[in-house]
């Protein structure tokens, strides 16, 4: 990223003009200085111009500088980006989080301009020599990625592949051992035939970014990531023991009692409430993406899976939703507006999907069924959902009303977000 024979590029991201003026006065003409005032603008400029150093305000208006950092540092071509946080807080925990998220340094406002210049110079030197504290993030330089479990059994010099656990349309899942501490992990890697598909790679990257940004106990935890020599990405994540809700429904069939439905789904709704509060819309909620993790003494914990086609308010880019169609969603759980225009959905589309899952558990069938996906989507966009009372007349009227509101065709008539749905469901079932 460093520019031989040219001034190093510093991108300043802050919503206060006086900060830009101070930085410009002290760093120019030694450095080329560019300016951004909002996170979305900073992301576009960083992707286009590949700065050597990013001076990033931690408390940007609209969203956190941490979100911007996490979004940028998982991209190839930005792995050497030296990020220095500008922060007005004295909270040491905030500074620790910034450094653990990939920043190389931080400067507390108000700062001394000469100190800032010295820190920028040090960051440039680190970038030139490929040095810095974020060793686990330097994954782009890592060893080759196997396309089969019998080849190159050690990844990154620490992950020993064991067995293949499954294979989806675009990726494989392996059980592995982290030899640094003996911990079992899961490794999710793109299948080689999809490694050059920008839509599939974008979905893979988005899943990583959202999981790191949310850091939620109900979202699968990601430990590491990287690319092989051919540019094929992989993710190292926690190994879950259990089954997804879809498999459980397929195995047991029939209706699920109200108490059990609430026990299963309220944690998922609460998790989505936290995601919505962070500006994330899942866009592919379904039983197969709700994992029931088995824990000690028979306890079950829910984990949300696959944020690959999620929408993030802080990301100005969008996952392509044409071509192969992998980014579109699952028709049976898609809202009318998502079928019409997946790019324009908000939290109320997830509320629809949660309503479909609630209906499915309580009624023993989904509200909309058809012989083909196309017929199904026509029904969803043109017909009202059937009354849940027709399939589960014994349910309290208050619960029936909550599910009915989730499945209103007009988004404005639904609950605003998952938090509102969770509150209403608890009141209705009390």
Catalytic residue numbers?
A: 284
CB atoms within 10 A of CB 61: 10
Paired tokens of 317: 């880019």
CA distance 38 to 299: 44
Give the closest residue to 144 by CA, choosing from 132, 162, 159, 129.
Answer: 159
∠ CA 20-23-24, rounded to 5°: 80
Residue the block writes with tokens 């060893």: 143
Yes or no: say if 71 and 278 are a contact pair by the CB < 8 Å rule: no
Q: What DSSP character marks residue 159?
A: E
Name 165's Cβ contacts closer than 8 Å, sequence gap at least 6.
173, 174, 175, 186
Q: Are 73 and 63 a contacting pair, CB within 8 Å?
A: no
Q: How far apart are CA 407 and CA 384, in angstroms?
A: 8
Give the number of C-alpha atoms closer than 13 A to the C-alpha of residue 8, restricted to the C-beta side. 21
- Which residue matches tokens 């083909």? 372
């Amino acid at each position: 990223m460093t520019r031989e024979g040219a001034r190093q590029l510093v991108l300043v991201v802050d919503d206060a003009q006086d900060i830009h003026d101070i930085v410009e006065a002290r760093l120019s003409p030694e450095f080329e200085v560019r300016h951004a005032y909002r996170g979305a603008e900073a992301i576009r400029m960083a992707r286009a111009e590949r700065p050597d150093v990013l001076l990033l305000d931690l408390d940007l208006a609209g969203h956190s500088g941490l979100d911007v950092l996490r979004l940028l540092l998982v991209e190839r071509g930005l792995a050497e980006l030296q990020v220095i946080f500008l922060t007005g807080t004295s909270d040491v925990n905030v500074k620790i989080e910034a450094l653990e998220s990939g920043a190389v340094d931080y400067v507390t406002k108000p700062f001394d301009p000469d100190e800032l210049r010295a820190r920028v110079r040090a960051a440039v030197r680190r970038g030139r020599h490929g040095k810095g504290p974020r060793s686990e993030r330097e994954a782009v330089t890592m060893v080759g990625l196997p396309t089969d479990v019998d080849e190159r059994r050690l990844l990154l010099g620490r992950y020993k592949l064991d067995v293949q656990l499954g294979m989806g349309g675009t990726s494989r899942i392996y059980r592995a051992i982290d030899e640094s501490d003996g911990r079992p992990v899961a490794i999710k890697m793109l299948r080689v035939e999809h490694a050059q598909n920008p839509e599939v790679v974008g979905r893979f990257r988005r899943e990583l970014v959202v999981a790191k940004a949310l850091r939620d106990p109900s979202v699968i935890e990601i430990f590491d990531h990287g690319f092989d020599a051919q540019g094929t990405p992989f993710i190292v994540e926690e190994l879950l023991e259990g089954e997804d809700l879809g498999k459980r429904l397929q195995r047991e069939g029939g209706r699920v009692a109200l108490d059990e439905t609430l026990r299963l789904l309220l944690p998922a709704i609460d998790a989505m409430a936290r995601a919505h509060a962070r500006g994330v819309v899942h866009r592919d909620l379904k039983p197969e993406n709700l994992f029931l993790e088995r824990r000690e003494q028979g306890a079950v914990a829910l984990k949300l899976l696959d944020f690959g086609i999620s929408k993030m308010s802080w990301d100005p880019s969008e996952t392509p939703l044409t071509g192969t169609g992998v980014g579109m969603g699952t028709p049976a759980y898609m809202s009318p507006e998502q079928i019409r225009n997946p790019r324009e959905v908000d939290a109320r589309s997830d509320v629809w999907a949660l309503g479909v899952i609630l209906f499915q558990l309580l009624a023993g069938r989904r509200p909309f069924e058809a012989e083909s996906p196309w017929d199904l989507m026509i029904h969803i966009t043109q017909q009202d959902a059937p009354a849940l009372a027709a399939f589960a007349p014994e349910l309290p009227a208050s619960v029936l009303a909550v599910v009915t509101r989730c499945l209103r065709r007009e988004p404005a008539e639904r609950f605003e977000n998952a938090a509102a749905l969770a509150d209403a469901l608890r009141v209705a079932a009390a």
